[in-house]
Chain A
Amino acid sequence: MSTAERDAVSLGAVTPTMSPDVIVQVPKGVPAKEISYQEAIREALREEMLRDERVFLIGEDIGKHGGAFGVTRTLFDQFGPERVRNTPISENTIVGAATGAALVGLRPVAEIMFVDFSGLAMDQICNQAAKLRFMTGGQCRVPWVIRMAQGGGAGKSTAAQHSQSLEVWYAHVPGLKVVLPSTPYDAKGLLKAAIRDDNPVIFLEHKLLYSFRGLVPEEDYVLPLSQCDVKRGGEDVTVVASGYMVWHSMMAAQMLAEEGISVEVVDVRTISPLDEETIGRSVRKTGRAVLVAEACRSYGPTGEWGMVVIEQAFDYLQAPIVRVTGRNSPIPFADSLERGVWPDTQKVVNAIRGVMEW
């Protein structure tokens, strides 16, 4: 059993067979290696730091300790304290300092341990960095990335202040880009793109995915931001999902394929700016839409995706749009309660069956 499978089981994921084989993104014949999502992020950081001396890391405990989730481990030894810069617990000034450094030509990558802590930096993210270029009439650019871990899952039990899914906080602010990768391949390619992008990018890493393994090409590659990725083609129903929910959706699609239901899975791997085209095109083809997000239901990502479906594919819909989301609740501690608020594979399966029976 692979680490990812073991984690999936121990974390109480509904299906014990959530394996990296569910999503394969590197074509046969391309030289590739299997690495974890955590390693993929680290490789992106290392390669970009080697490629561009303006790139540096700043954040709490990112030095020897390697960050809250070990992502920057070994980078401190390789690049030293100047470029892997441990900070005081000062989220607001970590982000502000990243902005200042970006304004004078560097390309900082900041780490905020948990997205839950980013409220402390909200002004610097949303009022300063996001708007500086705009409100100065294009006099400057703010090319930084803030990496934050988000989400949760049964077994991790990090409760109400370390487990939220807050992508829409930032997706609501023009000027920011918000990325939420679901696989090692996407994490590496999108982080490299985010670091090379001239805008402030919020890069959200799902905690349960750090141990997930998958193939990435041996050679350098960069993926485009602001594009959805069709993770699985299908004809009968479109499932729109992001982050960890892509895996539940893929598992559901695999299970339903055995029943003859053909599911297309669209991974919204950049939350904002949103690639509305790909979602619209898919639903115009399938005529049915199930939207899956871990974030709280109200004003969550599925509300936006649903409106995109209505605007772009209303005349094609053969069933009501159904969404599978986190409940409107803080994240509870107990495993049993967590299961009560989060989506899982079975809930996605039920939703797909529901729209197929319409």
Chain B
Amino acid sequence: MEIKRDMLLEMYRRMVRIREFELAAIDLFKRGQVKGTIHAYIGQEASAVGVCMALRPGDLIAGTHRSHGHNIAKGADPKRMMAEILGKETGYCKGRGGSMHIAAFETGSLGALAVVGAGIPIAVGAALGFKMRGEDRVAVSFTGDGGSNTGNFHEGLNMASIWDLPVVFVLENNLYAVSTNIRDTAKARDLSIRAQAYDIPGVRVDGFDVLAVYEAAVEAVARARHGKGPTLLVTEAYRFEGHYAGEPEVYRSRAEVEEYRKRDPIPRFRTYLLEEGKASQDELDAIGQEIEQEIADAVTFAKESPEPDPAMALDYIYA
């Protein structure tokens, strides 16, 4: 597949933006400036970016508790995301949601839904809405290996398949549901075979390779958009950080983490861009610096933003 240079550079930019955003968020968390928790997406950037770059602005995504990456990949503004993580009025959710519930409807993100698998039926419904209204739009749900063991997943794939709904189910297999390895909770080694039960395509790609993810996503999205129904897209991934920032990670060895870190999707893509002559060292460095500044600005913006007014605590409960 021939991919335009601008598109390649935008993929790189968004992957770096996710990485830098997460590092800054973890840093703030470790300084005690983020309350609650942070579920970092570091290591999985190629999955969110590969999928979201295959979407149009009007397409929708539904996320998980680990959705900073999905939101950024879909085009969310890091300033308003960081402000949300710090619980500020200028955040996307005006401080009502926090890290686990960032939604950016203006970019097509229905939001991070922090109960595992819960976004799947909602994406099915959005796709049903598109189909009923004859709209040319696609819904994507992101879930993980853990989510693929929930009833949401099986009910959702079934319902989408019987109605040929325009939805793509992205299963980011990062191997661990909190501490539990998918090998202990699923007999199948290849989770894409779960699609067979619903008679829809099941595709498995290297989740560290943004181009592989992108190409598979383009095909799945086209299929959905043309009324041919859903696809299960499994991206084989790994999270480099713990389940949450500061987690002790007693369930996996340092050696295992180091082994996976060698597959880091960002240096890998950078090498590809350089070797294929798609970008120069200077160009990529410039993108790195641009993003570094952007994230520093986001942190400043978030810190300087006002907290929500406690008198407004009951806003938005009812429409």
Contacts and interface: CB of A to CB of B under 8 A. Distances in A.
Interface of A: 56, 82, 87-88, 90, 92-93, 95-106, 108, 123-124, 127-128, 132-141, 143, 174-175, 177, 198-199, 273
B203 interface: no
A136 B97 contact: yes
Contact of B118 (A105, A124, A133): A124
B94 A100 contact: no
Given A99-B121, A135-B96, A105 B129 contact: yes
B319 A199 contact: yes
B22 to A, nearest CB: 21
A138 B118 CA distance: 20
Interface string B143-178: 000000001100110110010000000000000000
Given A96-B118, A103-B126, 17 more contacts: A93-B120, A95-B121, A97-B121, A97-B159, A100-B110, A100-B126, A101-B125, A101-B132, A124-B118, A124-B121, A124-B122, A135-B103, A136-B93, A139-B103, A141-B319, A177-B318, A199-B318
A103 B125 contact: yes
Interface in B9-25: none
Contacts of B162: 88
B159 A90 contact: yes
A175 B111 contact: no
24 contacts: A93-B124, A93-B156, A96-B120, A96-B124, A96-B125, A96-B152, A97-B128, A99-B121, A100-B121, A102-B129, A103-B129, A104-B129, A105-B133, A106-B132, A124-B121, A128-B113, A128-B118, A135-B101, A135-B103, A136-B92, A136-B96, A136-B316, A139-B111, A177-B318
Contact of A139 (B92, B120, B122): B92
Contacts of A128: 113, 115, 118, 122
B229 interface: no
A48 to B, nearest CB: 16
A133 to B, nearest CB: 6
Interface string B122-138: 11111111101100000
A68 B167 CA distance: 30
- Chain A to chain B: the 3 pairs with minimum beta-carbon distance, closest first: A100-B125, A96-B121, A137-B94
A124 B152 CA distance: 10
Nearest to A95: B121
A105 B126 CA distance: 9
B132 A98 contact: no
B84 to A, nearest CB: 8
Given A93-B159, A96-B118, A135-B93, A103 B110 contact: yes
Nearest to B92: A137
Contacts of A135: 93, 96-97, 101, 103, 111
A134 to B, nearest CB: 5
B115 A123 contact: yes
Nearest to A127: B115
Contacts of A82: 132
A96 B122 contact: yes
Interface in B47-76: 60, 62
Nearest to A108: B125
Given A136-B92, A136-B97, A106 B118 contact: no
Interface in B90-108: 91-97, 101, 103-105
Nearest to A174: B317
Given A93-B156, A93-B159, A100-B139, A140 B105 contact: yes
Contact of A90 (B127, B128, B155): B155
B156 A134 contact: no
Nearest to B93: A137
Contacts of B121: 92-93, 95-97, 99-100, 124
Nearest to A102: B125
Contacts of B115: 123, 127-128
Given A90-B155, A92-B155, A175-B317, A100 B128 contact: yes
Contacts of B105: 136, 139-140
Contact of A136 (B103, B130, B155): B103
Given A96-B152, A100-B129, A104-B126, A127 B118 contact: yes
A103 B91 CA distance: 21
A163 B126 CA distance: 33
B276 interface: no
A55 to B, nearest CB: 11
Contact of B129 (A92, A101, A174): A101
A199 B101 CA distance: 19
B122 A106 contact: no
Contacts of A273: 318
Q: Which of B105, B129, B315 has the most CB of A within 10 A?
A: B129
B156 to A, nearest CB: 5
A277 B100 CA distance: 38
A175 B129 contact: no
Contacts of B103: 135-136, 139-140
A95 B94 CA distance: 27
A95 B152 CA distance: 11
